Amino acid sequence: MDRRLSGWRGAAVGVALAFVGPGPAAWAQRSGPFFVSVQVAGGTGAVAVGGGYWLANRRLEPELLVGLLPGRLAGGRSLPIVSLKATYAPKGFGLGHSDWRVSPLTAGGLVSYTFGPNLYLSSRKTGRYPTKNYYWWSSALRLHAFVGPRVVQTAAGGWPRRRILGAEIGTTDLYLVSWLTNHTLRLPEILTLGFTAKAGGTPAYGPMPGPGNTAP
Amino acid sequence: MTTDAAGASSQRVLWMTFFTRGWGVACLFTLLLTSCHLLEFSPNQVAATGGARQLTAQNLARLRQQPRAAGGDTVRFVFIGDTQRFYDETAEFVRSVNQQRGIDFVLVGGDISDFGLGREMQWVHERLRRLRMPYLTVIGNHDQVGNGRRAYQAVFGPLNYSFEYGGTRFVMVDTNGREVGCNGTVPDLGWLRQELADTTRRTVVACHVPPNDNDFDPQLMLGYAAVLAQHPRLAVHLAAHIHRYTAGHPFRDAVPYITTYSLHKHRYHVVSVWGRRAFSLQTVDYGPAS
C-alpha cells in the first residue's frame, strides 16, 4: 500500500512540474526556456507527458516524464512509469530560409522507474530470497540510451516559440547485457523506437538564434 | 525579382539543402518508417509489437496435426532447461536437435528468459521456431521476475497446463514457490491432484524447480511428492533450475525425479516413454561446455 501511495505521489509531482511549462504566454515569457513534452514509446510508457528546461544554449534538455503502460500492454494492471531524461541536441543545420532546422543526431539517456505489483528496486526488497543478490538487477529501474534525428521549428514570437519533433532509437540496460554476452543476438533485435514532441517557451534573455537572426 | 519568384527560389534552396545536406536525415527517417516493430513502450510490456503470442496453443495445435515421430507406443522428446540469456547456445542446440530423428517435440523446462522480459521470450522463440518439431515450455522462476508472469502468459500461455500425446498425459506445473514468497499457493496442489486423477494413462510431470530444491515452497514439498506418488502410471518427473543432471528417488517412492542441463552445458536429454510407465534417458553432447 505504501509503495502504491509513493507511486502516485511521484506521478502527481511529475504532472505538476509538467504544467509549470505551458502556463499563460506572458508567464512563459518571464520564466525562461521551459518546455513541455509528449513521448510515445521509447521506454517511458505508451504515452508519457512531462516537461523540462533548456540548458547550455538549448542544447541540453533535462526533463521529467510521467507515462503509463496501459493494462492491455502490461497484461493486467496499468503500470505508471516515471522517467528522468536528458537529451543532447547539436544545433544542426537550417533548411533553406525556412524557420526549420534539422539536428540529424541527438543523443541521450533516461532512467525510468516502473510502479507495479511485482516490480522492485532490488530483489532484496521483496524479502523472498535467501541471498542478498538473488537477482542482481532491479526489475523496476531501467536505464535507457538513445540516438535519433529531430526537426526544430523556431517561430518569430509567441508561445510555444520552439517546437521539436524527434525520433529516438535506443536500447535498455538488460537488452545491452544480453547483446554483449551473445554473438548471435543481432543489433536490430535489441533496438527500441520512440517518438518525442516538445514545445517550449521564449527565453527571457533575448532573441533565439535562427535563420537571419543570429545570436549575439 | 517578384515576391513569387523569391518564394519559389527559397523553396528550391530548401529542397536542395534537404537533398544535399539532409540525406542522412532522410535515411534515418526511412529506417524509422520501416522499423515499426522496434516500437517499444516499455521493456515490461508483455509482447513485442507484432511479436508472437500464445505459443503454447500454437505448438499444441501443430503437435496434434503432425504424424507420430517415434514408432510403436513410444513417445520421444528432447528435454532441456534454462535457455535464459544463452542465445548463442540456443542456436547451436536447435542445429543439433534438428539432426535427431524420431523426436516428437522439444520440452524447455523453464527460465526461458533471464530477466522476465517479453522481448527475451521473443528472442528465444526466434531461435526455437527453427526447430523441425514443435516445442513446449513450462514457466521458470526467472520468467516471473517483474512483470514476467504476465509476459509468459501473453507469449506462451497458461502457467499450469496439460496435454495428451501418443497415449501419454503431460502435466506442466508452475513450481516457482519462492516467486510468490512461498505462501502455500505455488505449486497449485488442487489443480495437480485434478490433473492426475485419471490414473489410466501413462503420465509425465514437468516443472522448473524440483521439489527437493530450496526454491520450492517447503510447506508443499511433501504434499506435492505424495500427489505424484499416488499415480500408478507416472513414468518420470522432470525439472530444470539447477542446470545439471541429477536422477534419483528423493522421496523414497516409485517416482523417478530427473533434472536436466541448462543450454550453457551444451548437453540435452532425449526422453523416451513407452509401455505402462517405462522411460529411458539418453544424453546428447553437442560441444564443449562454455
Q: Write the secondary structure of B135-151 as one string of H (helix), E (strand) and C (coil).
A: EEECCCCHHHCCCHHHH
Distance CA B90, CA B131 (A): 11
Contact pairs from chain A to chain B, CB under 8 Å: 153
Q: What is the rounded average pLDDT of the residues A167-193?
A: 96
Closest CA to A161 of A39, A54, A89: A54
Residue with cell 511479436: B51
Question: What ipTM, to 2 d.p.?
Answer: 0.86
Alpha-carbon distance B197 to nearest alpha carbon in chain A (angstroms): 32
Cβ–Cβ of B149/A185 closer than 8 Å? no
B27 forms beta bridges with: none
Closest CA to B135 of B240, B56, B51: B56
Please tell me which residue, A214 or B45, carries the higher pLDDT value.
B45
Closest CA to A155 of A94, A99, A216: A99
Domain ranges in chain B are 3-34, 55-285
pLDDT tens-digit map of A131-162: 988 999 999 999 999 999 999 998 877 778 89
Does A208 map to a domain?
no
Alpha-carbon distance B52 to nearest alpha carbon in chain A (angstroms): 14
Mapped onto helix, strand or coil, the DSSP state of residue A52 is strand
Number of Cβ atoms within 10 Å of the Cβ of A67: 28
Strand locations in chain A (E): 34-41, 47-53, 60-69, 79-88, 93-94, 100-114, 141-154, 162-172, 192-200
The helix-helix angle for B118-128 and B87-97 (nearest 10°) equals 30
To test the contact with chain A by mutation, choose from B44, B128, B141 the residue with the greatest count of A C-beta atoms within 10 A, namely B44
Chain A contact set for B91 (CB, 8 A):
184
Say which of A81, A95, A104 has its CB closest to residue B42. Answer: A81
Number of Cβ atoms within 10 Å of the Cβ of B86: 23
HSE-up of residue A133 (Cα within 13 Å, Cβ side): 2
Contact A66, A80 (CB under 8 A): yes
**In angstroms, what CA-CA distances link A116 with A6, A82, A140, B91?**
12, 12, 8, 34
Say which of B29, B153, B181 has its CB closest to residue A149. Answer: B29
Number of folded domains that form chain A: 1
Q: What is the rounded average pLDDT of the residues A65-81?
A: 96
Closest CA to B125 of B51, B26, B17: B51
Residue A12 CB-density burial (10 A; 0-12 exposed, 13-18 middle, 19+ buried)? exposed
Distance CA B269, CA B261 (A): 8
Alpha-carbon distance B77 to nearest alpha carbon in chain A (angstroms): 26
Contact A93, B21 (CB under 8 A): yes
pLDDT band at A215 (very low <50, low <70, confident <90, very high): very low
Cβ–Cβ of B178/A129 closer than 8 Å? yes
Cβ–Cβ of A192/B40 closer than 8 Å? yes
Cβ–Cβ of B87/A167 closer than 8 Å? no
Peptide bond between residue B256 and the one before it cis (omega within 30 degrees of 0): no
pLDDT at position B35 is 64
Distance CA A191, CA A179 (A): 10
Closest CA to A59 of A152, A143, A122, A135: A152
Q: Over chain B (290 residues), what is each successive 10-residue block's mean pLDDT?
A: 52 55 60 72 87 95 92 94 92 95 96 96 96 97 96 97 96 97 96 96 97 96 97 97 96 96 93 96 84
Does A28 map to a domain?
yes
Q: Which amino acid is at B95?
A: R
Q: Which residue of B has its CA nearest to A46?
A: B41
Distance CA A84, CA A91 (A): 23
Cβ–Cβ of A95/B85 closer than 8 Å? no
pLDDT at position B274 is 96
Angle at B86 between CA A43 and CA A172, to 5 degrees: 15
Q: Which amino acid is at B168?
A: T
pLDDT at position A212 is 46
| Residue-range definition of the domain harbouring residue A65 | 2-200
Give the CATH number of domain B55-285: 3.60.21.10
Cβ–Cβ of A194/B39 closer than 8 Å? yes
Q: Mention every residue, 6+ apart, whose C-beta is less than 8 A from residue A56.
A: none
Does A84 map to a domain?
yes
Cβ–Cβ of B39/A41 closer than 8 Å? yes
Contact B263, B123 (CB under 8 A): no
Residue with cell 494492471: A77
**Residue A202: pLDDT over 90:** no
Say which of A97, A130, A140 has its CB closest to residue B13. Answer: A97
**Residue A203: pLDDT over 60:** no
pLDDT tens-digit map of B15-38: 555 555 556 556 666 665 556 678
pLDDT tens-digit map of A21-61: 444 555 555 556 899 999 999 999 999 999 999 998 889 99
Cβ–Cβ of A98/B39 closer than 8 Å? no
Dihedral over Cα of B265, B179, A189, B24: its sign: negative
Task: Give the distance from CA A21 to its chain's centroid.
Answer: 15
pLDDT at position B281 is 97
To test the contact with chain A by mutation, choose from B17, B21, B147 the residue with the greatest count of A C-beta atoms within 10 A, namely B147
